[in-house]
A = this chain, B = another copy of it.
Amino acid sequence: MFQLDYMDHSPLYEQIKEKIKALIISGVLKPNERVPSVRELAQSLTINPNTIHKAYKELELEGYIYSIRAKGSFVTPINRKINPGRQDDLLLELEKLVSELAYLNIPQEQLLSRIEEIYKKGRQRNHD
């Protein structure tokens, strides 16, 4: 499914969170689709189930998946409201990032075109 980078200093559960989130955002994992079980993923990554559990728990808190005891974990359909305040955090982070890019003289057009591309891809996925 994906691999961990042991050179990366960020905690394993963070990496797992990011990978799963990316799979959801990119549409590889569809709404209400089942995510690998805690044990399955732990085995395939050869790490401890507790670490997966922690990653899943945080993904659930952030609204990306939901877990049902004795059933498994599933991708949250988007119409459900994702953790409010999360959007504001992301927008703030975006502003910081863009400020730095502007400071480094990255041309504005480059940013705008990248963003348009990303949104275009997103719309394509929704039309599938």
Q: Which residues of A contact B (CB under 8 A)?
A: 6-7, 9, 11, 21-22, 24-26, 61, 66-69, 71, 78-80, 82, 84-87, 90-91, 93-106, 108, 111-112, 114-116, 118-119, 122
A interface: dominant SS: helix
CB-defined contacts of A11 to chain B, threshold 8 Å:
69
B residues near A80, Cβ cutoff 8 Å: 7, 104-105
Copies of this protein in the complex:
4
| Pairwise interchain contact A66-B6, C-beta atoms closer than 8 A | yes
| Smallest Cβ-Cβ distance to A108: which chain B residue | B119
Q: Give 9 nearest A-B pairs by CB, closest first.
A: A102-B122, A25-B103, A108-B119, A98-B118, A7-B66, A25-B99, A102-B119, A98-B115, A6-B68
Q: Which of B79, B94, B104 contacts A79 (CB 8 A)?
A: B104
Which of chain B's residues has its CB closest to A18's CB? B96
> Which residues on B sit within 8 Å (CB–CB) of A105?
78-80
